[in-house]
Amino acid sequence: MLKVAVLVSGGGSNLQSILDYGQETFKVEMVIGSKECIYGLERAKNAGVPTYVVSRKEYGNETSNKILELTRGKVDLIVLAGYLSILDGEILREFKDKIINIHPSLIPSFCGDKMYGMHVHNAVKNSGVRFTGCTVHFVNEEVDGGAIILQEVVPVYFEDTAEDIQKRVLVEEHKLLPKAIDLISKGKIEIIDGRVNILK
């Protein structure tokens, strides 16, 4: 059984999709919030999952080290589910190829520094692209630069607001993130030359 830590910064709807997936191949061992009083932590408590708060305000440059302290030896995979801080330092080495993130666009488009949340959907709307989507990828030292695991495409319509795009993408995020965890738990993901191969 794959042991998972989920990191959240807000409402935790992606966390809920993981909790609802049916944990036969993996188990959420802990949820770590980036601040107090976010609904994601309530979702975890409602599911009986232990919660912790590691805020950048309190820990500053030691934030990633504190998360490593909480997760080391206790989980096999760290999942960033709408987590807005950037992990750095030792945790990226100890959990190499064992940290995944969901990003609300089709990487390598609309990603990288300062591209998160509604910034992404506004950029998508303003660009005039006809399609966007979401990406689950491994986390490394480069922001949104790790190997891509899964992607899903959604259409963008001329009359869409950024909020319309966000809602459409979120529907797919809620399917894609638990699916990626499930594939990892079943040993079906391998990284070859920086690309992910999904085994049958």
Query: How far is residue 91 CA from its own chain's centroid?
Result: 16
Backbone angles phi, psi at 172, to 5 degrees: -75, -35
Strands 26-33 and 51-53, bridge-based pairing:
parallel
Backbone angles phi, psi at 51, to 5 degrees: -125, 150
- Contacts within 8 Å (CB) and 24+ apart, 188-191: 189/149, 191/97, 191/138, 191/147
Q: Which two tokens stand for residue 61?
A: 């440059």
> Which entry of 103, 121, 137, 174 is annotated as an active-site residue?
103
Per DSSP, the chain holds a count of helices (H) and strands (E) of 7, 9
Distance CA 112, CA 59 (A): 24
Assess contact for 41 and 12: CB atoms under 8 A.
yes
Is 103 labeled as catalytic in the residue annotation?
yes
Active site residues: 103
